[in-house]
Structure 1
Amino acid sequence: MTSLVFETDDMRPVRAWCADGEVHVALADGRVISTPLWWYPFVSGLDDKQLNDIELMYEGIWWTAVDEGISVKSMFLGIKAPGAKAPDRAA
């Protein structure tokens, strides 16, 4: 068995947006992956316009307002940014 290679042309982001408490990334191969925004505390103070001011990189995305980004690989692997804390759930 071979190991999965994450950084490929097929997994290159072609579009990214934030909505409904999640960041969504469309990949070159047609898939869309999403992760909760609370995974990335560095974007917690951004408004909708800033959340959607996203630069695409070969391996991920970058929020220009906070000079921070995430990789597609980290999204697939479920890697949260340091300090990420799940929101309290109402009982």
Structure 2
Amino acid sequence: MPSHSSADLRVMSVSIDDDRLTVELMDGRAISVPLAWYPRLATASQAEREHWELAGAALIAWIQGIHWPDIDEDLSTEGLLQGARAPRVATPPPCA
């Protein structure tokens, strides 16, 4: 398990443009990833993208998540730091 004793992974701000999701953390770091990694966010309206809220982990005070209630999307700061993309949905094979 990684040690984050000196890191503060709480979210300070979130911004989304046409190509990137950027999350600024309380410890001064900024995480910027391609928006294409998160299809729900990529296809969401600007209003849906701007309507986010913090989702904290009660047992781990220094880790937070971001929740977009209108599109039911959740991302953790730790996952973003690890470069975790949204899981791909398997496409069923075509019927014969």
TM-score range, shorter chain: 0.7 to 0.9
Deviation at 1:20, TM superposition (A): 3.6
- Structure 1 runs of 4+ with >4 Å offset: 6-9
- Residue 17 of structure 1 contacts residue 54 of structure 1 at CA under 8 Å; is this kept in 2? no
Which structure 2 segments of 5+ residues have no match? 57-63, 90-96
Task: Provide the identity percentage.
Answer: 32
Mapping 1:10-49, distance limit 5 Å: 10-49=8-47
- 1:88 is matched with none
How many residues were matched structurally? 82
Structure 1 unaligned blocks of 5 or more: 85-91
Instruction: Report which structure shows greater RCO (CA 8 Å, sep ≥6).
Output: 1
Q: TM-score, normalised by structure 1?
A: 0.74
| C-alpha RMSD of matched pairs (Å) | 2.3
Match of 2:83 in 1: 78
Report the equivalent of 1:67: 72
